[in-house]
Amino acid sequence: MTVTGRQLLALAQDRRIEAITRDRPLRGTAYTSYDANQWFRTAQIDGLVNGPGSVKNAPTIAVIDSDVDATRVQDFGGRIVKQVNLSSLDPRGSGDAFGHGTMVAELAAGAS
């Protein structure tokens, strides 16, 4: 969002706001993993894994976002239990038009 100096000072005084961060350009790293089980090690849940790709007691993760692209089988396989689109832009819509919910779910539990 774009704010004036006065608005910024007012926001800084609001106890409900924990941080204000300047917008910065981002650049991808072009990192690619060919290990479908890397997320187990990254999430430090190796103890839940009983052999490659099988999960004994993995937790269920709820991602509250704009939905998940379930067609990304390489990331989620058949592990998506339920989908609900919580996007206020089109609450009747399905899918993840801009990819944000899918990205968040991939960070939490995706294979790539």
pLDDT of residue 36: 66
Asked whether the beta carbons of 111 and 105 are under 8 A apart, the reply is: no
Dump pLDDT digits (tens) for 19-69.
Answer: 888 888 878 777 777 776 676 677 776 666 655 555 555 667 888 777 788
Q: The tokens of 62 are what?
A: 């709820």
pLDDT of residue 89: 65
- Which pLDDT band, with edges at 50, 70 and 90, does 102 fall under? confident
Q: Which of 92, 38, 43, 100 is nearest to 69 (CA)?
A: 100
**Confidence at residue 13, expressed as pLDDT on a 0 to 100 scale:** 94
**Reduced to 3 states, what is the DSSP secondary structure of residue 49?**
strand
C-beta of residue 25 within 8 angstroms of C-beta of residue 72? no
